Chains A and B, each alone.
Chain A
């Protein structure tokens, strides 16, 4: 059963919302002991289910939704996978949560992730999700719990996820589900615990493309509380011409062949600036923005704190040093460095200018093609034992295919298209700004193509 069939059943009175929510909560608790997909499982979802049961209305009536830990849910611990925010219970709902609940969706819990989204394997956190197909392997990151649970659950479900540099596409690919990252600004980020403001996007992970689209239609739209949200003029769903990105085929040979055989005979196009500079540009910008965003965590207003000893600087430094992971510390140092006087022009500003050229490079191709295609990830989900051997830079290199569209704010969709050594392989469709309809139409076609 997909989301549409489930919601139709609920609205007709054929499905008991209460029974269904009880079932998925029990399943989540059971799975969680072994797979670590949730940081919190809701204790008031059943009460909400009773309310929906009485009033079976809304585009997502009775639909169980999990929410990435970095998206604020009122009264539910929301700590973005970080220990520095342990115990933080937001007093507001993120706009996406308001919109989902207004349409009858039921929040079942907060999913595990890399701390603040800093990672590609969901290993930079205290609650590491395991791949649903092989527990020795990663779910991908940073929305690892979201993708893992979406694949593992036997119930109808969709996950709210978030991407800064590939955190929706990567785990969707590694877990064999669909992941839709919308155009920058199309989904409100009010209530998102931010990573990098010019890159963050809230999106959806679902069992299939159609499920992600239904949830997207509910959460999209301008929000006055997010000054970067846009009133989008969406493009139509017609897909006339697609092309494969030549440089993206420099990946595992089997993955390349699976992607090319799925997509059929299409032209290959080149994105030289993207392939050469997008990774460095992305990491410079994201670390610079992250280092300023993380300045607010100081053990004063929310999250973890210590005894109030020493002066401000000593206290803040003590709290931050104790509760941030090593990866957060690395990114804070690199980001602070890139913004320091004397280095700012050479690193941060240069990356911002290159981003302009990278956006132009994509735009030029979108004048001729509706969709650009690449593998989502250069490898299948790696084993935890292999991840441990990677240096930070080798970790960052894993995002080589996803940073481009994220840097340019372009919508992209990862579709599950096959397996290599029994592990899922994802194909990524990239569209022009506001071309989500084209992506989901083509994505559904590829998902169902033999």
Chain B
């Protein structure tokens, strides 16, 4: 797999990051070095019946009664937002 400028820019766009030219120049060899190391996983012998461990311990489903519980008030939810209007978050335009 080739990690080049084009791919890094594609990933950055997906992740909502604008990378500067100096950042791309700095990151490219660093990311390649890390991915080379990660590629060693392809050498590991993993039997086909092995399941993925999405958690390190067994996590069970937890159910609760379907009833209304206390949650943040509108005021609390908005407390840390700089841009707000009439009790709502104010965001940038959609398109």
Q: Which residues of A contact B (CB under 8 A)?
A: 87-89, 91-92, 183-185, 198-199, 224, 227-228, 230, 273, 276-277, 279-281, 283-284, 291, 295, 298, 300-303, 305, 308-318, 320-321, 324, 326, 329-330, 332-334, 336-338, 340, 343, 346-347, 349-357, 359, 391-393, 396, 407-410, 433
Contacts and interface: CB of A to CB of B under 8 A. Distances in A.
A298 B62 CA distance: 31
A164 B68 CA distance: 34
Contacts of A302: 80-81
Contact of A356 (B37, B50, B94): B50
Given A280-B37, A356-B52, A340 B83 contact: no
A140 B53 CA distance: 29
A414 to B, nearest CB: 19
B41 A393 contact: no
8 contacts: A184-B56, A230-B59, A308-B83, A309-B92, A317-B17, A320-B17, A333-B17, A343-B1
Contacts of B83: 300, 305, 308
Q: Which 6 A-B pairs have the closest CB atoms?
A: A409-B56, A352-B52, A302-B80, A315-B92, A91-B76, A321-B18
Contacts of B35: 334, 337
* Secondary structure class of chain A's binding surface, majority of residues: helix
Given A227-B62, A312-B92, A336 B15 contact: yes
Contacts of A352: 52-54
Contacts of B94: 311-312
A91 B72 contact: yes
A303 B80 CA distance: 7
Contacts of A336: 11, 14-15
* Secondary structure class of chain B's binding surface, majority of residues: loop
Contacts of A87: 80
Contacts of A354: 41, 44, 46
A221 B21 CA distance: 49
B41 A300 contact: no
Given A281-B41, A392-B34, A393-B37, A332 B17 contact: yes
B56 A308 contact: no
A312 B90 CA distance: 11
Contacts of B91: 300, 308, 312, 315
Contact of A393 (B12, B30, B52, B82): B30
Contacts of B54: 198, 352
B18 A301 contact: no
B39 to A, nearest CB: 8
Given A300-B89, A329-B23, A393 B33 contact: yes
Interface string B57-95: 101001010000000100011011111000001111111
B12 A333 contact: yes
Interface in B1-51: 1, 3, 7-8, 11-12, 14-19, 23, 26-27, 30-31, 33-35, 37-38, 40-42, 44, 46, 50-51
Contacts of A283: 34, 38
Contacts of B7: 337
Contact of A330 (B27, B41, B52, B92): B27
Given A91-B72, A227-B59, A353-B46, A312 B52 contact: no
Contact of A277 (B14, B40, B51, B92): B40
Given A301-B80, A334-B35, A392-B30, A313 B16 contact: yes
A298 B83 CA distance: 12
Contact of B33 (A88, A89, A392): A392
Contacts of A308: 83, 90-92
Given A320-B17, A359-B56, A393-B34, A351 B41 contact: yes
A336 B31 CA distance: 12
B89 A301 contact: yes
Contacts of A326: 23, 26
Given A347-B41, A393-B34, A355 B53 contact: yes
Given A89-B80, A334-B35, A391-B33, A321 B19 contact: yes
Contacts of B30: 330, 391-393
A280 B40 contact: yes
Nearest to B62: A227
B5 to A, nearest CB: 12
Nearest to B30: A392
Contacts of A277: 40-41, 44
B17 A353 contact: no
A357 B50 contact: yes
Contacts of A303: 80
Given A91-B76, A301-B80, A353 B52 contact: yes
Contacts of B3: 337
Contacts of A351: 41
Contacts of A300: 81, 83, 89, 91
